[in-house]
Amino acid sequence: MKDFQFYAPTEVVFGRESEEQVATLVKKYGGSRVLVHYGGQSAKRSGLLDKVCRLLDEGSVPHVELGGVVPNPRLSKVNEGIQLCRLHGIDFILAVGGGSVIDSAKAIAYGVPYEGDVWDFYAGRAQAQTCLPVAAILTIPAAGSEMSEASVITNEDGDVKLGYSNNISRPKFAIMNPCRTFTLPPCQTAAGVTDIMMHTMERYFNPDGDMTLTDAVAEALMRTMRTCVFAVLKNPEDYRNRAQIMWAGSLAHNDVTGNRSNGDWATHQIEHELSGLFDVTHGAGLAAIWPSWARYVYQENVSRFVRFAVNVLDVENDFTDPEATALRGIEAMEQFYHAIGMPTNIPELIGRKATDGEIQEMVRKCSRNHQITQGRFKVLHPADLEAIYRMANGEIMNNS
């Protein structure tokens, strides 16, 4: 069994009126001048942004606002945030939004005290020694960034999407009010649940496979999501099920369902190039890739795919034919994706097949110019990555 570290220091305040505590929490964690970072118009429309600013005013916490973070958040916005923080002497960054906003907030937090280019961290050229404290008011359960050490930023210069992980950026607190997710459109709800389940699946499909308790917890989370998502797609204001999804988003990425560094992460890496190139929703991109990844790799450990099929997807176990059971699990996952409106391949994701040139570009970026492999469940070389992209593109059916 592999050794692990577990570190999830974020104080979670979960419930209907949790925002009310924002000023108290900012001050508790040392904030005296706050950047309120947010995305598009929904935070404004919903009244959440105004409420947060009012609460900070009432708590005598000076703040400036910076909105406009887009999905697949951009480095240019990060640099704008860094300059703004330096100009105003900001010492605390409060992200109001989903994973993109929180990821952008983390990048700003690294950048403010750093003399060089913040992209150095994402490009692997430097390690952040310090950062401003970050906190989150979550509005989209999906990325798990509200408790995680990870952030992913897209550098428009070359459309390069890279992640950087450092424990120092784990949010100090996360305010989670499920009511704030009532207005999420169905596609975003479904993509969020896909991302949540995938954070667990990336950990679950690992080559070590002997952390019984963690596997059982992971299965519990995935089974629960399978049920809850239909409840909220039917009734968007179902508080109880919205709450399960919101909390699952945090547990799926705070390492309770498995240690991040022991996981596979190939599907995430393969998807990053899809959303980097086509600017699609990350969760939808994951659904478009996973079935092809799964069919390409399942023979590495058939019994793990059987366990997934039986324990997560309620597939009947054909004890005489484990391979058939494993494949039925992958089919069941595709049926689930379709049932919640997610794609299961690239044409369904972008409305056409990817061109040969686009596939070559994604392979090149995902393998960092053919220099690195991806994945741990099965180590994927550039030729493997290309095969998976082509399977997902409907060009080849499987790896046999």
Q: What does the block give as tokens for 234?
A: 């039917």
Closest CA to 36 of 60, 7, 65, 16: 65
Task: Determine the Cα–Cα distance for residues 155 and 276; give it in Å rounded to an integer.
Answer: 9
> Which of 90, 138, 152, 211 lies at the binding interface for a second copy (CB under 8 A)?
211
Residue for token pair 């999501």: 225
Q: How many CA atoms lie within 13 A of 359 on its CB side?
A: 22
Shortest gap between Cβ of 339 and a second copy (angstroms)?
Answer: 19
| Residue 179 lies near a second copy (rule: CB under 8 A) | no
> Which of 45, 240, 338, 370 lies at the binding interface for a second copy (CB under 8 A)?
240
Of the pair 77, 242, the CB lying nearest a second copy is at: 242
Of the pair 173, 293, the CB lying nearest a second copy is at: 173
Piece of the chain touching a second copy by CB under 8 A; list 42-50, 246-254, 261-269, 322-330: 246-254
Task: Determine the Cα–Cα distance for residues 42 and 257; give it in Å rounded to an integer.
Answer: 31
> Which of 19, 103, 219, 386 lies at the binding interface for a second copy (CB under 8 A)?
219
| Residue 127 lies near a second copy (rule: CB under 8 A) | no
Taking each helix axis from N to C end, the angle separating 302-311 and 212-234, rounded to the nearest 10 degrees, works out to: 40
| Residue 228 lies near a second copy (rule: CB under 8 A) | yes
> Which of 110, 247, 296, 377 lies at the binding interface for a second copy (CB under 8 A)?
247
| Residue 256 lies near a second copy (rule: CB under 8 A) | yes
| Residue 17 lies near a second copy (rule: CB under 8 A) | yes
Secondary structure string (H, E, C) spanning 185-222: CHHHHHHHHHHHHHHHHHHHCCCCCCCHHHHHHHHHHH
Question: b vs e for 303-314, b when ≥16 Cβ sit within 10 Å of the residue's Cβ?
Answer: ebbbbbbbbbbe
> Which of 210, 319, 371, 397 lies at the binding interface for a second copy (CB under 8 A)?
210
Shortest gap between Cβ of 17 and a second copy (angstroms)?
Answer: 8
| Residue 29 lies near a second copy (rule: CB under 8 A) | no
Element (H, E) at 164: strand 160-165
Shortest gap between Cβ of 231 and a second copy (angstroms)?
Answer: 10
| Residue 9 lies near a second copy (rule: CB under 8 A) | yes
Closest CA to 200 of 223, 181, 228, 178: 223
The residue ranges that bind a second copy (CB under 8 A) are 1-9, 11-18, 210-214, 216-217, 219-221, 223-224, 227-228, 239-241, 243-244, 247-248, 251, 256
